[in-house]
Amino acid sequence: MSDTPLFKVTIDNITVEVPAGTTILQAARQVGGDVAPPAMCFYTPLEGSGGKCRTCLVEVSKGSEKDPRPMPKLVASCRTTVMDGMEVKNITSDRVQDARAGVVEFLLLNHPLDCPICDQAGECHLQDLGYEHGSSGTRYEFQRRTFEKHDLGKYIQLHMTRCILCYRCVFTAAQVTNSREHGVLDRGDHAQIATYIEKSLENDFIGNVIDVCPVGALTDKTFRFKNRVWFTKPVYASCDCDKCCGEVTLWMRGDEVFRVTARKDEWGEIKTSPKTGKTGWICNDCRFEKKKLSQWKVEGLADISRHSVIGQGKYPLLEKSNETISKVLDGRKPRLLMDIHSVSEVNRPEIDLSEINGPATSSIFKKQ
């Protein structure tokens, strides 16, 4: 029974009714599926976020019922509010697809593409975006910009080379913690997230910057290189914490708790806690210190999309593809001809892929 009027908005020929003041992105998320534009910098719980990455650009083909003129430029759907009778084109517009492919190319331009050794792989938004909208090769043939890794205190490591400057962590520190101690230094393509000067971040809630980071630029030092996210099993758990809501996701393998994060929804955003009614940010103690199962009350399996790589192998009912190879081989079992690790020179863990300028090629792996 609210006073806000309902606006009809048509996104990719699907009409939804949303309250006035809703953004196009939120309306599209109500439709769900492919119609929802990807968003790398917008984060619902963070006020003022969005508008920077330009991946959520959409075409407004009809402004509103009153003023049906189309908007001349593509607009950032995360920061544009709907009007009554608005018509939006996302996946049905070639212009949008073209611009989005361009944005993905720009985002990946200076990205090291070190997914094989990145902790974020498997839950990385940039990985998903590149998979859906990116091209298979790069047209960039120059040196990529690199940064040194920085330790921001004892829990968080910052690897600026991977950063896409979404500003989410800056907003988080400004809005969730008592004081913001990091920000953006320099400008243009050498802009960097940094503390001034190499200070550590000491705040009870600063760990949340790891959760909001869409890429692997801010990583949990208690989890770094411990496991791949798709090998761990997410379960919801809670504890009585006097600092935060205490509602978390435990990422477990067997009985071992590898990692603790806040609970996220299907868009990768931290959920609202049913206990407090506020965004379920968690404190550093819950995130980094409570790594024993006995400290938690397990509530059950976490909601993970079946399409996510994390859900792989955790849903026994998922239909398995038929084993075709034995049919092809006329009932015989395939024979192992060789072990790839004994013949390949590519498997050299001492080479840090993130330190390489440009894409990794075989010449880098040739033994000196």
Partner 1 sequence: MGRKLLLHNAHVEGIRTYEVYRKTGGYRSVEKALKTLTPDEVVEEVKTSGLRGRGGAGFPTGMKWSFIAKPEGVPRYLVVNADESEPGTFKDRYLMEYIPHALIEGIIVSSYALGANTSYIYIRGEYAWIPDILEHAIAEAKANGFLGKNILGTGFDLEIYVQRGAGAYICGEETALIESLEGKRGNPRIKPPFPAVKGLWDCPTVVNNVESIAAVVPIINDGGAEFAKIGVGRSTGTKLISACGNLNKPGVYEIDMTISVEEFIYSDEWCGGIKGGKQLKACIPGGSSVPILPANLLLKTAKGETRYMNYESLSDGGFATGTMMGSGGFIVLDEDQCVVEHTYTLARFYRHESCGQCSPCREGTGWMEKILYKIESGNGTLHDIDLLWDIQRKIEGNTICPLGDAAAWPVAAAIRHFRDEFEWHVNNPELCRTQNFGLAHYADEIHVPA
Query: Does residue 333 touch partner 1 according to CB under 8 A?
Result: no
Q: Which is nearer to partner 1, 186 or 319 (CB)?
A: 186
Task: Count interface residues toward partner 1 (CB under 8 A).
Answer: 33
Q: Which is nearer to partner 1, 53 or 235 (CB)?
A: 53
- Residue 164 in contact with partner 1, rule: CB under 8 A: yes
Q: Shortest Cβ distance from residue 58 to partner 1 (Å)? A: 12
- Compute the least distance from the CB of residue 69 to partner 1, in Å: 16
> For partner 1, which is the closer residue by CB, 96 or 244?
96
Using CB under 8 A, which of the segments 7-15, 159-167, 203-211, 304-312 binds partner 1?
A: 159-167
Residue 133 interacts with partner 1 (CB under 8 A)? no
Does residue 187 interact with partner 1 by CB under 8 A? yes
Three-state SS across the chain?
Answer: CCCCCEEEEEECCEEEEEECCCEHHHHHHHHCHHHCCCCCCCCCCCCCCCCCCCCCEEEEEECCCCCCCCCCCCEECCCCECCCCEEEECCCCHHHHHHHHHHHHHHHHCCCCCHHHCCCCCCCHHHHHHHHHCCCCCCCCCCCCCCCEEEECCCEEEEHHHCCCCCHHHHHHHHCCCCCCEEEECCHHHCEEEECCCCCCCCCCCCHHHHHCCCCCEEECCCCCCCCHHHCEEEEEECCCCCCCCEEEEEEECCEEEEEEECECCCCCECECCCCCCECCCCHHHHHHCCCHHHCEEEEECCCCCCCHHHCCCCCCCCCCCCCHHHHCCCCCCCCCCCHHHHCCCCCCCCCHHHCCCCCCHHHHCCC
Query: Of the candidates 24, 25, 53, 250, which one interacts with partner 1 according to CB under 8 A?
Result: 53
Residue 76 in the binding site for partner 1 (CB under 8 A): yes
Q: How far is the CB of 279 from partner 1 (least distance, A)?
A: 22
In the shown chain, the binding pattern of residues 102 to 121 toward partner 1, with x for contact by CB under 8 A and - for none, equals xx-xxx-xx-----------
Residues at the contact surface with partner 1, assessed by CB under 8 A? 50-54, 57, 73-74, 76, 79, 98-99, 102-103, 105-107, 109-110, 139-140, 142, 164-165, 167, 183-184, 186-191
